Amino acid sequence: MVSRRQFIKNTGKASLALWLGATSNGFANTAFIIDAPSNFTPFIKIEKSGKITIFNTKPEMGQGTFQSIPALIAEELEVSLDEITIVQTSGEKQFGSGQAAGGSSSIRGNYNEYRKIGAAAKEMLIKAASIKWGIGIESCYAENGKVYSSKSDKSFSYGELIEEASKLELPKEPKLKNKSDFKIIGKSIQRPDIPLKVSGKVEYGIDVELPNMVYATVYRSPVIGGTLKNFDAAATLKVPGVIKVVEAKRIVGKYNYSGVAVIAQSYWSALQGRKVLKVEWDTHGYENFNLSDYENKLRNLSKEAGVIDKNIGNVESIKIEPENAIESFYETPMVAHHTLEPMNCIAHVNGDMLEIWTSTQVPSAITGSGPNDLHSQIGIKPENIKLHSKFIGGGFGRRLYTDYVIEAVNIAKQIAQPVKVIWSREDTTQHSALRPMTFSQLKGGFSKEGELISFQHKVISPSYFDSVGSSFDKSKVDAIMVEGIGEQAYEIPNIKTSYVYADFHVPVAAWRSVTSSTVAFAHECFVDELAHKINKDPFDFRLQMLSKESDTKRVLLKLKEVSNWDKSLPKGKGRGVAQWGFFAGLCAHVVEVSIAEDNSIKIDKVIAVIDLGEVVNPNNVKNQVEGAIVMALTAAIKPGITIENGKIKQSNFNDSPLIRIHETPEIEVHILADGGKIKGVGEPGLPPFAPALANAIFSITGKRIRKMPFDLNLF
Amino acid sequence: MKTLWAYLLKYEFYNCLIFVFFCLIFINLKLYNKLSCIDKCHAFHLLKKQYYMAIINLKINGKDYPVDVDPQMPLLWAIRDFVGLKGTKYGCGIAQCGACTVHLNGQPVRSCSLPVVAVANKNITTIEGLSEDNSHPVQKAWIEEQVPQCGYCQSGQIMAAAALLSKNASPTEADIDAAMQGHICRCGTYPRIKRAIQKASETKPSKE
């Protein structure tokens, strides 16, 4: 809190504004523009003119936080979204270390905290008005950015109240609105970023243009792990527009790479220069690596016991008759993020100061002072780093990494001007960290009475934690790689989940819904196999393992109803079901398929139920789930990424194709938002799709798919 | 008057020159400030060192933009980095994703794969030229259907949809699939793109 004296002192300076926000212990706080407490995170700024600014700390990559975070604050503050100015933060210190978007966490992590900030501000403004009018606060109410008196027709705009409000104590426990009074939350209000995106005026990192800016492209070792021996830039430097050729170092998790950057007056000139650049790489030990060999290694590793993740009951001592036991092996590929905006970053090093313009999911990791933040990798003090965080042309986990920022900074250190480093599509495909493959061994056992009494899921894969840091303890489970497999709601008396580590020299990344995007395929297809083993309907089989009340049970019951599962399908049609609950949230799909004239599988419809607890913008949630399903469809049926002779084989959308409009099925999304635990939106729609599709294909062809990707034309 | 001029010429000649010089700078600065950001960017690039013999005239959204570039440079980079219109996007560089789509004499083309020399003095329309205020029926429908997520591909999608509707006012679903399947949306907004085109087709698009 600031004192009255500070207030008077500050009014003489710049613009007077009431700032409201949160301290590290989560409480709402207030302060003036200067002398704010050090741990104060401002979220609302109300100026005397009546202008209200709400700061959004969660980068916008398509998921809608540019609206949804301010919406939570505006709802309680009683201002419409049209009346506020939304400012995207750029990793500034005062906005704290939570300026990052990932793990579907923006809303589920802070739903009530953001509302409390708005509610506290509103309570103070109401109290200020009641003091000015000399009436009780019960006779005042806030609406549309004003405080009204219910005893007369008088009103104050918020701007008129900030001086009085600033003298007030903070409400310790601001009262939150009843759900039934919501005007913004739960309504499908148009997103404020969409007009910008429809006019072409929205600015992504790649669109930033600075005076005196130069461009760079980087030639990186085609063989992953190759190191730079030497380069000859003589021909490159003769290309018109080329200015300089320098070494460019990049760090990806625990890996250090070196490339050669061609700096030029235009990106096109830089590309021409790169074509004639001669580089020698030392690829010893890496040039004979083939992914098919590595996959054989993973298959062999499945014989190892691995490290136990969850062990419920006693799987080992249960006696299962051979005819009551089944075992299956599932495989998934590596995939690329393929954000449509390729990697790019502008960096300008001026003395010991660094300025960065880029699209990133982690502004806080670029400006932060933590041990693993950017400063530790580039040797520039965090207080000297200024970031301009731009709209993101696709994240999906790729932009959780800052390797492209590190590389741009290392190039910028070698030239006085701001430099825009653009990765070509080929660069982005071949030099980005990838979602690793996971192989799964599953075992199930029934009692003589046909009860599922034993379930085992062992994941064999490279390790995410091993890739991002060198301190991974291989005697422990990588929790990311067994994500969700020990947490399904099915009531099975004996469950064992485990993990077998596989050494890998290729950087691996989180990819939308992380490991759930692969292990859910194995897990939920195997549940289908178990149902068919005892001739049970796969939907009923799941529900029978859900006797207790749970979110999973509610979602499946809703899905059974909206998909008309109880009605039999017309002849020639099949369907499959799958669900997945994990850290990010919970979703279940029914996929309906038929066999087309050319004997290929046609996906007729996808019906999804996502459980959120609370929903901010239903139309946006539907868009997210539709998108997650399309992305899941690509991962299910389009080729993944492969490595031959140490090089990534795919380079662009011609050899790493993505789903297109004519391949997109009809999608119907239902939202459950009837209270309960608040869950995420961006990722949960993805994991259940591939297993629901594979289960649907089994229902119509009798062929069990145990490997992704699978071809819809081969049935 | 005559004596005044004679006096000035005799005794204040250099001061006069300096005065006129500053007047000219002042007028130029005034004019420069009136330019849009895009024109400034273009002016900035024209001031850059010249490397190529020929200046190629690009006619974009009804305006002339002479650019001094490698004649083989793809139109995309000329539009983005020399003319300064950033709405047209780089996605793949090999005509696979459609993010760079612009209209060439009304036809949708991939600007990443067209050398500038091939399009000199031809009518090019970019997303910025579709409308000034999102008033094109396709843009309106895109907002109504809340199509974009990250938005990066949407300039190209909208340009393709506008071109489709200018030829075919009421496309069937198959027509939409055929016209739009060259466009990738990694966020997966395809169901909405389809709905928005159907919606825009009901509103009968005006000719661009």
Say which amino acid occupies B3.
T
The minimum CA-CA distance between A201 and chain B, rounded to whole Å, is 6
Higher per-residue confidence, B22 vs A344 = A344
User: Which of A262, A257, A196, A209 has its CA nearest to residue A234?
Assistant: A262
Q: Taking 50 as the threshold, does the pLDDT of residue A27 lie above it?
A: no
Give A324's DSSP letter. Answer: G
User: Which of A697, A672, A495 has its CA nearest to residue A588?
Assistant: A672
Phi/psi at A42 (5° precision): -80, 135
The minimum CA-CA distance between A653 and chain B, rounded to whole Å, is 6
Asked if the C-beta of B81 comes within 8 angstroms of chain A's C-beta atoms, the answer is: yes
Buried b (16+ CB within 10 A) or exposed e, A606-615: bbbbbbbbbb
The ipTM is 0.95
> How far is it, in rounded angstroms, from Cα A263 to Cα A16?
45
Residues B119, B55 contacting (CB under 8 angstroms): no
Q: Taking 60 as the threshold, does the pLDDT of residue A11 lie above it?
A: no
pLDDT of residue B203: 62
> How far is it, in rounded angstroms, from Cα A343 to Cα A425?
8
Kindly write down the DSSP assignment for every residue of B64-125, as one continuous string: EEEE---TTSBHHHIIIIII---SS--S-SSSSS-TTEEEETTEEEEGGGSBGGGGTTSEEE
pLDDT of residue A18: 75
Question: What mean pLDDT do residues A434-447 have?
Answer: 98
- The yes/no answer on whether domain A291-335+435-701 falls in CATH 3.40.50.460 is no
In the structure, what pLDDT confidence band is assigned to residue A707 with cuts at 50, 70 and 90? Answer: very high
Q: Taking 90 as the threshold, does the pLDDT of residue A176 lie above it?
A: yes
Q: Which of A160-174, A503-517, B61-75 has the lowest mean pLDDT?
A: A160-174
> How far is it, in rounded angstroms, from Cα A127 to Cα A692?
55
Q: B-chain residues within 8 Å CB-CB of A192?
A: none
Q: A4-199: which CATH number, 3.20.20.70, 1.10.287.70, 3.30.1360.120, 3.30.365.10?
A: 3.30.365.10
Q: Taking 60 as the threshold, does the pLDDT of residue A293 lie above it?
A: yes
Cα dihedral A515, A518, A520, A523 sign:
negative
The minimum CA-CA distance between B149 and chain A, rounded to whole Å, is 4
> How far is it, in rounded angstroms, from Cα B92 to Cα B100?
9
CA B105 to each of CA A198, B62, B76, B119, B208: distance values in angstroms, whole numbers, following the listed order? 22, 11, 16, 10, 11
Give A143's DSSP letter. Answer: E
> How far is it, in rounded angstroms, from Cα A698 to Cα B166?
44
CA A562 to each of CA A306, A569, A592, A626: distance values in angstroms, whole numbers, following the listed order? 41, 14, 13, 17
User: Which of B133, B155, B193 has its CA nearest to residue A202?
Assistant: B155
* Cα A405 to chain centroid, rounded: 19
User: Which of A347, A366, A344 has its CA nearest to residue A99?
Assistant: A366
Disruptive mutation site among A68, A191, A197, A619 for chain B (greatest number of B CBs within 10 Å): A197
Q: B-chain residues within 8 Å CB-CB of A393?
A: 89, 150-152
The 10s digit of each residue's pLDDT in A208-255 is: 999 999 999 999 999 999 999 999 999 999 999 999 999 999 999 999
Q: Taking 50 as the threshold, does the pLDDT of residue A38 lie above it?
A: no
Rounded (10°) CA dihedral A559, A565, A569, A575: 50
The minimum CA-CA distance between B17 and chain A, rounded to whole Å, is 31
Asked if the C-beta of B93 comes within 8 angstroms of chain A's C-beta atoms, the answer is: yes
Answer whether A4-199 and A291-335+435-701 agree in fold.
yes
Residues A673, A563 contacting (CB under 8 angstroms): no
Give percent of chain A with pLDDT exceeding 90.
87
Q: B-chain residues within 8 Å CB-CB of A204?
A: 152
Question: What mean pLDDT do residues A112-137 have?
Answer: 93
The 10s digit of each residue's pLDDT in B114-160 is: 999 999 999 999 999 999 999 999 999 999 999 999 999 999 999 99
Question: What mean pLDDT do residues A443-470 have?
Answer: 95
Average pLDDT, chain A: 93
In the structure, what pLDDT confidence band is assigned to residue A167 with cuts at 50, 70 and 90? Answer: confident
Rounded (10°) CA dihedral A67, A73, A75, A80: -60
Question: What mean pLDDT do residues A687-708 have?
Answer: 98
> How far is it, in rounded angstroms, from Cα A252 to Cα A695?
37
Question: pTM (2 decimals)?
Answer: 0.93
Rounded (10°) CA dihedral A550, A556, A561, A563: 160
The 10s digit of each residue's pLDDT in A407-423 is: 999 999 999 999 999 99
B103: Cα within 13 Å, side-chain hemisphere = 24
Higher per-residue confidence, A571 vs A94 = A571
Q: Taking 80 as the threshold, does the pLDDT of residue A77 lie above it?
A: yes
Q: Where are the domains of chain A?
A: 4-199, 205-285+343-422, 291-335+435-701
In the structure, what pLDDT confidence band is assigned to residue A676 with cuts at 50, 70 and 90? Answer: confident
Parallel, antiparallel or unpaired: strands A52-56 and A84-88: parallel
Give the three-class secondary structure for A118: helix
Q: Taking 50 as the threshold, does the pLDDT of residue A36 lie above it?
A: no
Closest residue, chain A, to B81 (C-alpha):
A266
- The answer for A 632-661 residues in CB contact with B (under 8 A) is 652-654, 658-661
Structure tokens at A15: 């613009």
- The yes/no answer on whether domain A205-285+343-422 falls in CATH 3.30.365.10 is yes
> How far is it, in rounded angstroms, from Cα A330 to Cα A705?
9
pLDDT of residue A42: 79
User: Which of A169, A209, A67 has its CA nearest to residue A620?
Assistant: A67
The 10s digit of each residue's pLDDT in A460-480 is: 999 999 999 868 899 999 999
Structure tokens at A649: 């084989």
Question: What mean pLDDT do residues A35-59 have?
Answer: 79
Domains in chain B and their CATH numbers?
37-130 (3.10.20.30), 134-208 (1.10.150.120)
The 10s digit of each residue's pLDDT in B133-146 is: 999 999 999 999 99
- The answer for B 7-36 residues in CB contact with A (under 8 A) is none
